[in-house]
Amino acid sequence: MNKTLLKVGIVVVSLFLVFSLFSCGQKEKKVLKVGTNAEYPPFEFKENDQFKGIDMELAQLIADKLNMELKIHDMDFDSLIPALNANKVDVAMAAITITEDRKEQVAFSIPYYSVDQAIIAPEGTDIEINEEGDLTEYTIGAQNGTTGQIYIDKNYVSENKMKKNQLKKYPTNIEAITDMLNGNIDLVILDTSAAKGYKEMKPISTVYTIKTGEKYGVAMPKNSPLKEKIDTALKEILKSDQWTNILNKYIK
């Protein structure tokens, strides 16, 4: 009696487990899968388990224009381009700067936002950066894979103007800024837009701005069928009041 019950129990449990695995893989029609790295306020972050930020609201607007259902996949920033190429997501929106190197691997939409690189230090610091070359005297932190990190790597570390250990790479800006405030590094390089967001949370100040004039774009796999539709949608959105409202909401 007991054994029969046990056997039935085992069968029921294993069936349930098998089906629960299958249900994970079900796909619905017309879903726009957007990859992001929700650790980058004010562009993308999570609040009360909801995706928020400029990119996230823009993604919703694009999905509406394309008449698709928005589904957001949160992952590491480093993983976004591999995820596009592995077709895990349709597009990636994570304050991604359009660069030549990235263009070799993915396609970009028209630009939707423009930033420079900010060099930040703890508030009340005596560090003074009068020209870019002064950076070589300090240790700098950056989020791995960002244009800030690549900029320092390319222009200073590879040119032997800085030692390798003067550039410390972190999974996100949070770790970089925390480490700076703990006194382990002198400066952090990040997008001006992100620096503004963090200033409201932590005692930091911008000591120098490198005018890079970078542009953010929506990344997608090469030959993506969505490219034209997204460009058209973006052109309409960028002209609209909705876009101005979103920017005003997140960046003061």
Partner 1 sequence: MLDSIVFVFENMPLLLKGALVAVEITVLSILLGMVVGLLVAILRLYGPKPIQKFMKLYEWVLRGLPILVILFIIYFGLPSVGLNIPAFISAVLGLGLRSSAYQAQIYRGAIQSIGVEQVEAGLSIGMNRTKTMLYVIVPQAIRLSLPGFTNEFTIVLKDSPLAYALGIAELLKQGRNIIVTSFKPFTIYLTCAIIYFLLFHFFYYLFRKIAEKYEVPGYIMSKKS
Distances (CA, A) of 35 to 45, 70, 93, 129, 174: 13, 11, 6, 36, 20
Interface with partner 1 (CB under 8 A), residue from 25, 124, 213, 225: 25
Which of 14, 114 has the CB closer to partner 1?
Answer: 14
Which of 141, 166 has the CB closer to partner 1?
Answer: 141
Applying CB under 8 A, which part among 47-55, 94-102, 206-214, 215-223 lies near partner 1?
A: 47-55
Does position 121 interact with partner 1 (CB under 8 A)? The reply is no
Does position 170 interact with partner 1 (CB under 8 A)? The reply is no
Does position 75 interact with partner 1 (CB under 8 A)? The reply is yes
Interface with partner 1 (CB under 8 A), residue from 64, 76, 116, 153: 76
Distances (CA, A) of 42 to 38, 95, 183, 211: 10, 10, 25, 20
Does position 46 interact with partner 1 (CB under 8 A)? The reply is yes
Q: Rounded CA gap, 19 and 23, in Å?
A: 6
Near partner 1 in 84-113, by CB under 8 A: 86-88
Q: Burial code of 216-247, b = ≥16 C-beta within 10 A, e = fewer?
A: bbbbbbeebebbebbeebbeebeeeeebeebb
Does position 74 interact with partner 1 (CB under 8 A)? The reply is yes
